[in-house]
Structure 1
């Protein structure tokens, strides 16, 4: 194998923090789409160069002509790549450009593999495993960009894995990147979130402020930053005596999209950790050049939540339990831009289970549709990481929604065109049947499409391909089993990973398996590659 291993500089170690994240858990003829090509610098039709698939967040590969409604049932496993057992979830959705797959592992390494064979091209070590890649990379202009669990953003040489630059973008020790970067016009756009609100009763809470950064793509220098909440101030103490700070939170968990016609950037935000202020649970429309606000829509009146809200005795630590505002109703999903009647609409799913559609220029509400049914545990019931638009329909999946369901929605009205629940036998067939205490019928991954097909995975460990016109299941693969990796390790599947979804490129389907709920195994999890 042609393996080149690169190691991060010693300077990066100064900001290492513990990894703490709460995991909450028919072909179609396009109508008027915003873009038919990736429109990402250096990408070719058929590539998947960025988490969103393109600038507008369609998560649709219009150039995929090998995997079709007629051939999808013939998909076979071509290779598996097995991770070492680390106990960390698999979160880095791959990018596929020029016949190479780029992704990060839960082992503190970043990989470039041959897309057809899985042969290692190069690896990059994020400071000896003291950091993790939580987002999906973006590939543009000869570089691979991604963030990590300490708040660093990296640019590696696309062909060699050599470090071009690495910047610590986070002033807070708990800051991190689950938001995947987007390249546009010489800048990298990436959001910042944190695990600060997962601390125990003795932890001072909270001082993290969500933000969206624009970085110079050549140097990594900060061009502008948009803070989502004001500067926190200490307002007293918690019952434990730990310092109490307000307001805080409103992390940017999801990835941004851009309308190149207006140079407007759209991104969603999360809930407050403490207090009630700032742009929590909001869709922001910002000037991509300056970060100035063009408009914003706050979709929840009040939402203050930290992990102690889930504890049996949260009195004094979760004021929202009394007034009903401890919701955890983030906008954790990436927006979709689409055209209706000559106008551009921006839509986004919320963890409340609502999909919101706004006029992209003014922010005026076009329609809203309740899809997921809210559960008492809050944000685990709704729309998690993202939806897809194929030029004809929107495709939206719900998470713990008793059961999670895949929807096709009319982009003009929000009318549900069809809906397919997570198959009822998902937990009684395949590998999941051995773990009834673990398995759930829920969809956490973002939805992906190609002409005539919809791709969505489940907590039952099964990856499925659906007919775009009807919602019928055309293909299913059970990942809860052992795999022999091309890298010499044994791996084991699990829930299909969130923080992203399936990637379709060049007649291949790439799926990460290794997410909550975790199926018992002594092995690490896997990246799986399927082809015809």
Structure 2
């Protein structure tokens, strides 16, 4: 089934080989040997630049094959194929290093943004004390520094701020610890594949093992993150030294996109894959089941594993050409779990079905027991025809037509109303947002339509909520007027205000230059920050939706580390606000959007 493919794809993940020819022979030659009309031969590719080949493996036609390669391995393949060296270094940290890195402060004593959201409730709300920034000073924000990600076409990871440091992953697998104020490089770490997750910092618990003893007397804090090859890492937050590494799932097409969440000694890691859209020719689709794995934060050992699809996949049909169809499959969890300590539960948004019979938890919100991993309940928001996106109508796993792709790609937010009642607020790619009752198995309290919805539409990566309102950005890239930001009363789901998207700041409107607001949003007292596909990050007044600040990232930037960098489309991470500064990445070079590779830091 998938085992042979997995062995082939994972061989290159065993280290950092410099032998580009060996990598090409094992990973690429089967298609690029001159006998496959779909793939150019090695001789035909000799005229291309090595950077163009790196880009193809990063965000181009070979991006799914490149997901299983580290940044160094992509470079090795590119240099072998082109016969020339790639400019610069894979880490991009030859210059810009801190002369003497300041010690890592207590991550919990000063301003911080730890993980995907400042709190485990995933509201993306930063209070005034932690933000260090008031609404009246936002119009005075100015660019303080820029940092470039080498060999990248997307700035897809959201930074973490803790202990005076900024921690961020990158598309080529380099994880950075920077000084949060100056941007100088304290350390780098090489992961086995690209790192899209946020990094979460935790205090290292007592450990008498020989390996752990090597870290005593250092920071006492651990940084946790995951990569696009299915690995979860724990490294010393002060030095970047690896403590442990674990494979979260052995499926050959696993990718870890949602950020892990740390709570009471356990690390909760959401599981997703690119089996739906990135399967190779002849692949037996589909066999991946999404879910969450709970790891012991000290050792990395598995505590429990929960699946969003209870039934293991089985063979559905074998075709005469030798290909097989398996199912049920799908139900990826693309975003960070939300922790509810009072109810002993975590909540996740669940993606669509890949194959097989419709499943009760897909395209929905599920509650999972924190201690045991048992699925307590699931509330599906697309109970109609099965949502198998990107399939060919008439196929066994497709039905009469391809599904609308109405995933819940954004983390649910656990909010508390002024009367003490708690709700789960979740936004869907259908363009509809919901408030659910956690005490009634997710029973709907209210719903609000923010957009029309589509595969790249509706609410994509994240919402925000303060004490009174929820804020829903809309993508809807295929509509006549993509974008827009909605403010909705938490109590009853009624609209407080709506701000339509401004004219694209990037120039002529098109797929890569539009007002679509894919990215997650952030709220501080008085202000909502929202990045846009047009390359602008904007600040909106929470009172009436007026835009009070705009920064255009569509240009080249002089960077602290000397890496050539520019901004582009913005898709995924939210702006991070902590200690009087605002941090945001720019660039997203897939799905026809505009590439970029820069992290920007602002302060008044």
When the two structures are superposed, what TM-score results if normalisation uses the length of structure 1?
A: 0.86
- 1:81 is aligned, of 120, 144, 147, to 147
The residue that corresponds to 1:294 in the other structure is: 376
User: Are 1:329 and 1:379, in contact at CA under 8 Å, matched by a contact in 2?
Assistant: yes
Query: Which range moves more in the overlay, 507-516 or 274-283?
Result: 274-283
Give per-residue Cα distances to partners, 1:487-518, cap 9 Å, x unaligned: 011201011231x2110010110101111466
Using the alignment, how far apart are the partners of 1:21 and 1:451 within structure 2? Answer: 43
Using the alignment, how far apart are the partners of 1:268 and 1:45 within structure 2? Answer: 31
The residue that corresponds to 1:33 in the other structure is: none
Structure 1, unpaired ranges of 5+: 1-8, 24-40
Give per-residue Cα distances to partners, 1:434-458, cap 9 Å, x unaligned: 6856312101111101111100010
Structure 2, unpaired ranges of 5+: 1-11, 18-25, 28-61, 68-105, 204-220
- 2:249 is aligned, of 150, 162, 170, to 170
The residue that corresponds to 1:414 in the other structure is: 493
Using the alignment, how far apart are the partners of 2:593 and 2:274 within structure 1? Answer: 23
Q: Helix, strand or coil for the counterpart of 1:495? A: coil
Using the alignment, how far apart are the partners of 1:111 and 1:221 within structure 2? Answer: 25
User: Are 2:354 and 2:397, in contact at CA under 8 Å, matched by a contact in 1?
Assistant: no
Ranked by relative contact order (alpha carbons within 8 Å, sequence separation 6 or more), the top structure is 1
The residue that corresponds to 2:22 in the other structure is: none
The residue that corresponds to 2:56 in the other structure is: none
Using the alignment, how far apart are the partners of 2:168 and 2:152 within structure 1? Answer: 17
The residue that corresponds to 2:429 in the other structure is: 351
- 2:387 is aligned, of 293, 301, 304, to 304
Q: Does 1:512 align with 2:585?
A: yes
Over 3 Å counting, the alpha-carbon distance change for 1:238 and 1:162 in structure 2 is: same
User: Are 1:303 and 1:327, in contact at CA under 8 Å, matched by a contact in 2?
Assistant: no
When the two structures are superposed, what TM-score results if normalisation uses the length of structure 2?
A: 0.76
Aligned residues between the structures: 485
The residue that corresponds to 1:132 in the other structure is: 194
The residue that corresponds to 2:602 in the other structure is: 530
Q: Over aligned residues, Cα RMSD in angstroms?
A: 2.5
Over 3 Å counting, the alpha-carbon distance change for 1:140 and 1:525 in structure 2 is: same
Query: Which range moves more in the overlay, 139-148 or 432-441?
Result: 432-441
Greater fraction of residues in helix: 2
Q: Does 1:283 align with 2:365?
A: yes
Using the alignment, how far apart are the partners of 2:188 and 2:110 within structure 1? Answer: 26
Over 3 Å counting, the alpha-carbon distance change for 1:22 and 1:364 in structure 2 is: farther
Give per-residue Cα distances to partners, 1:456-479, cap 9 Å, x unaligned: 010000010111111100100111
The residue that corresponds to 1:458 in the other structure is: 532
Over 3 Å counting, the alpha-carbon distance change for 1:437 and 1:296 in structure 2 is: closer
Over 3 Å counting, the alpha-carbon distance change for 1:231 and 1:355 in structure 2 is: same
Q: Helix, strand or coil for the counterpart of 1:72? A: helix
Using the alignment, how far apart are the partners of 2:331 and 2:14 within structure 1? Answer: 29
- 1:268 is aligned, of 335, 349, 354, to 349
* Structure 1 residue 351 displacement after superposition: 0.6
Give per-residue Cα distances to partners, 1:176-225, cap 9 Å, x unaligned: 11010110000001111101122256332111111211110001111011
Greater fraction of residues in strand: 1
User: Are 2:178 and 2:184, in contact at CA under 8 Å, matched by a contact in 1?
Assistant: yes
Using the alignment, how far apart are the partners of 2:469 and 2:66 within structure 1? Answer: 32
Query: Which range moves more in the overlay, 91-100 or 236-245?
Result: 236-245
* Structure 1 residue 239 displacement after superposition: 8.2
**After the TM superposition, which residues 225-244 of structure 1 pair with which residues of structure 2 at under 5 Å, given as runs?**
225-229=305-309, 230-237=311-318, 241-244=322-325
- Structure with greater Cα Rg: 2
Over 3 Å counting, the alpha-carbon distance change for 1:251 and 1:520 in structure 2 is: closer
